[in-house]
């Protein structure tokens, strides 16, 4: 299984970080070194604490480096639906995620983050293939209009879209990134300030300590920032968060077609075109929903066949698939991302419903404030 994002020269040149070498201690330990874990490391360092961060594999070798690379404002639910479900505080989360894009743009080297905007489509590109698809597309077009209206109502930039890909809307403040490059670049900036340790799987988290395959980390503050399989690592969250498999593929380069990340069919299918001309395409989880509630992280023929067709529709013609992969992500039973105290000094974050690129860092910083100051998480996070 080859992950398309890993073809980037920066990822290929990653020298790696050593595993934990026996028992160790620090003021704080962070479990998981993806987008949220690295944000937690940075937040703890900014408080003057010593930090040990551990990951079961390479930095961002899980969902943090295997996702669609979309940097979209807000949570998984469209804004109008999220407001109805969680109340107006979710608008604050939307603004926090837009601010996170600004922060990333300021700290990442030029070209890593591309401020392209994003498009939400009603359906997928091309004519509807049957009456059911046409009906679903019409229903989604109504939802797109309601979504765009909520963005406008709260002062978030949005434009109607009616172009070669279909109809929907364009959000100019969103962005695109190679998620593996993003995480490894941030890790490189932190590795001389914190003890970051790769290939150090964790078997147990409890108040004051983290047990790994290579030793025990003793720390009065522990932030668990593992999205996929969080319910296994932190049994207290069983029933509140569930692990799903998300699948993607990458094609050979195609003619320029997608100027920005594009998602449609109620957000289940998504694609972006990299600067290398390749399409990075994911989705199809709903087509095999029960099978995709799994801890397995290998591609499957059914989902891959669906997203290969999505890739062709996004490309406007035949595609050649070069890479296929999958990753585990956490889905919250409550709909809201989680920021939960699970033991004295231990706070866990996750359940991003596939939108951890920006929501994850926001939740991680809230977790640090919760652990150190006792500040209750904001209402757009489930405590």
Tally of CB atoms within 10 A around 177: 26
Q: In 3D, which of 134, 5, 138, 140 has the Cα closest to residue 61? A: 5
Record the pTM. Answer: 0.96
**Are residues 38 and 196 in contact, defined by beta-carbon separation less than 8 angstroms?**
no
Instruction: Please give the CATH number for the structural domain made up of 4-67+179-241+334-373.
Output: 3.50.50.60
Torsion region of 117: left, alpha or beta (phi above 0 gives left; psi -120 to 50 gives alpha):
left
**Are residues 313 and 124 in contact, defined by beta-carbon separation less than 8 angstroms?**
yes
Structural domain boundaries in the chain: 4-67+179-241+334-373, 118-178+243-331
CATH superfamily of 118-178+243-331: D-Amino Acid Oxidase, subunit A, domain 2 (3.30.9.10)
Classified as helix, coil or strand, 12 is: helix
The residues facing 54 across adjacent strands are 31, 197
Tally of CB atoms within 10 A around 296: 12
The tally of CA atoms less than 13 A away on the side-chain side of residue 168 is 21
Q: How far apart are CA 304 and CA 302, in angstroms?
A: 6
The two three-digit tokens of residue 281, written as one number:
């395409």
Cross-sheet strand order for the sheet of 338-343: 195-197, 51-54, 28-31, 221-224, 346-350, 338-343
The tally of CA atoms less than 13 A away on the side-chain side of residue 119 is 25
**Are residues 121 and 262 in contact, defined by beta-carbon separation less than 8 angstroms?**
yes
Apex 15 CA angle, 10 and 18, nearest 5: 140
Q: In 3D, which of 236, 169, 174 has the Cα closest to residue 207? A: 236
| Residue 1: per-residue pLDDT | 73
* CA distances from residue 318 to 18, 163, 254, 314 in whole angstroms, order as listed: 43, 20, 9, 10
Q: In 3D, which of 288, 310, 359 has the Cα closest to residue 94? A: 359
**Are residues 252 and 320 in contact, defined by beta-carbon separation less than 8 angstroms?**
yes
Q: Do 4-67+179-241+334-373 and 118-178+243-331 show the same overall fold?
A: no
Q: What are phi and psi of 277, to 5 degrees?
A: 85, -10
Per-residue pLDDT of the chain (383 residues; tens, 9 = 90+): 789 999 999 999 999 999 999 999 999 999 999 999 999 999 999 999 999 999 999 999 999 999 999 999 999 999 999 999 999 999 999 999 999 999 999 999 999 999 999 999 999 999 999 999 999 999 999 999 999 999 999 999 999 999 999 999 999 999 999 999 999 999 999 999 999 999 999 999 999 999 999 999 999 999 999 999 999 999 999 999 999 999 999 999 999 999 999 999 999 999 999 999 999 999 999 999 999 999 999 999 999 999 999 999 999 999 999 999 999 999 998 889 999 999 999 999 999 999 999 999 999 999 999 999 999 999 999 99
* CA distances from residue 210 to 21, 47, 225 in whole angstroms, order as listed: 14, 21, 13
Q: How far apart are CA 61 and CA 46, in angstroms?
A: 25
Q: Integer distance in angstroms from the first to the last C-alpha of the chain?
A: 36
The two three-digit tokens of residue 174, written as one number:
């969103």
| Residue 276: per-residue pLDDT | 93
């Amino acid at each position: 299984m080859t992950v398309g994002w890993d073809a980037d020269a920066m990822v290929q040149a990653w020298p790696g970080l050593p595993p934990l070498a026996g028992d160790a201690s620090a003021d704080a330990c962070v479990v998981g070194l993806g987008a949220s874990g690295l944000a937690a490391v940075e937040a703890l360092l900014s408080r003057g604490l010593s930090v040990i961060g551990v990951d079961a594999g390479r930095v961002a070798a899980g969902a943090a480096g295997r996702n669609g690379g979309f940097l979209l404002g807000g949570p998984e639910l469209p804004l109008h639906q999220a407001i109805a479900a969680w109340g107006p505080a979710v608008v604050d989360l939307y603004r926090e995620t837009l601010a996170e894009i600004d922060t990333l743009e300021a700290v990442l080297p030029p070209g890593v983050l591309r401020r392209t905007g994003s498009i939400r489509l009603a359906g997928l590109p091309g004519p509807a293939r049957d009456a059911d698809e046409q009906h679903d597309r019409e229903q989604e077009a109504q939802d797109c209009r309601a979504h765009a209206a909520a963005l406008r109502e709260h002062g978030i930039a949005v434009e109607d879209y009616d172009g070669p890909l279909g109809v929907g809307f364009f959000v100019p403040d969103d962005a695109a990134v190679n998620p593996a490059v993003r995480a490894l670049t941030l890790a490189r900036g932190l590795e001389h300030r914190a003890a970051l340790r790769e290939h150090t799987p964790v078997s147990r988290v409890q108040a004051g300590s983290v047990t790994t395959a290579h030793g025990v980390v003793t720390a009065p503050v522990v932030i668990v920032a593992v999205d996929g399989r969080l319910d296994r690592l932190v049994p207290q969250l069983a029933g509140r968060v569930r692990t799903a498999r998300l699948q993607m593929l990458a094609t050979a380069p195609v003619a320029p077609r997608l100027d920005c990340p594009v998602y449609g069919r109620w957000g289940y299918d998504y694609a972006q075109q990299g600067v290398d001309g390749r399409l990075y395409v994911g989705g199809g989880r709903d087509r095999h929903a029960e099978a995709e509630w799994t801890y397995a992280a290998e591609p499957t023929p059914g989902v891959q066949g669906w997203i290969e067709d999505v890739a062709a529709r996004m490309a406007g013609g035949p595609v050649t698939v070069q890479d296929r992969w999958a990753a585990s992500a956490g889905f919250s039973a409550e709909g809201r991302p989680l920021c939960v105290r699970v033991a004295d000094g231990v706070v866990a974050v996750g359940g991003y419903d596939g939108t951890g690129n920006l929501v994850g860092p926001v939740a991680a910083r809230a977790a640090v404030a919760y652990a150190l100051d006792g500040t209750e998480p904001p209402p757009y996070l489930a405590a």
